[in-house]
Amino acid sequence: MHSEGQRIGGRSMESMTGQLLVATPSLKDPNFDRTVVLLVAHESGGALGVVLNRPTEVPVAEVLGPWGAMAREPGVLFEGGPVQPESAICVARMRPGARRARGFHPVSGLVGTVDLSTDPESLRDSVVGIRVFAGYSGWSPGQLEEEIEAGSWFVLDALPGDAFMERPDDLWPMVLRRQGGMMAAVAHFPSDVTLN
């Protein structure tokens, strides 16, 4: 007997947890213009993700002390999205072959979220690096599926290093270019077509 997947938004659909939402040029919401979002949860109750390419200038160490030493370059907080900007979500990448650390919740492969109430020292040997996001992006049941159907998002496979790029501003065009074909052409789409 094969699984139909879970019911999301009133119909059967596979979970997109661990995939990237890449904003299409037609998405005009300034919160998401040219963003790349990692979906850390997608279930019947909705979806939750973090924007991977909106770094702030606030060092992680300034806000979360010892966690700063584990933050990948640039070691700053990222704007995860417009929902609850005072909250923090930590995404971590485990070392290949490392024992799964307490407080680590897998999202896709070696990438997952980490409970920030965990002692960072207990993770030092098993985690390659972290990224901390202030706030998150959230969708109510069925909302994300409607936005995808309306052409606001491309749903693409994530690579383990996507959430940890040293130059996050390059992520949107890079993810599109690696798709090849017409998708790669979108990477060169001007941010303001009136300037074209």
Chain segment 41-57, per-residue pLDDT in tens: 999 999 999 999 999 99
Return the CATH number at 125.
3.40.1740.10
CA dihedral (162, 169, 120, 118) in degrees, to 10, reads: -80
DSSP state of 99: P
Residues across the chain: 196
165 within some domain: yes
Question: Is-cis flag, bond preceding 30, omega within 30?
Answer: no
Local structure of 59: helix, strand or coil: strand
Phi, psi of 15 (to 5 degrees): -65, 140
Whole-model pTM?
0.89
185 within some domain: no
184 within some domain: no
**What is the average pLDDT value for the chain, to the nearest integer?**
89
**Which two tokens mark 154?**
């491309």
193 within some domain: no
186 within some domain: no
Q: What pairs with residue 156 in β-bridges?
A: 20
Helix (H) and strand (E) counts for the chain?
4, 12
Q: What pLDDT digit, counting tens, does each position of 64-98 carry?
A: 999 999 999 999 999 999 999 999 999 999 999 88
CA-atom Rg of the chain in angstroms:
17
101 within some domain: yes
Average pLDDT value for residue range 119-143: 94
| Full DSSP string of 6-31 | EEETTEEE---TTPEEEE-TT---TT
Return the number of other C-beta atoms located less than 10 Å from residue 39's C-beta: 23
SS3 content of the chain, % helix, strand, coil (to 5): 20, 35, 40
Average pLDDT value for residue range 152-170: 95
Total domains in the fold of the chain:
1
pLDDT at 38 over 70: yes
pLDDT at 28 over 80: yes
187 within some domain: no
Helices (H), the chain: 60-64, 143-149, 171-177, 181-186
102 within some domain: yes
Closest by CA to 131, choosing from 85, 88, 84, 83, is: 88
**Which domain covers residue 88, as residue numbers?**
6-174
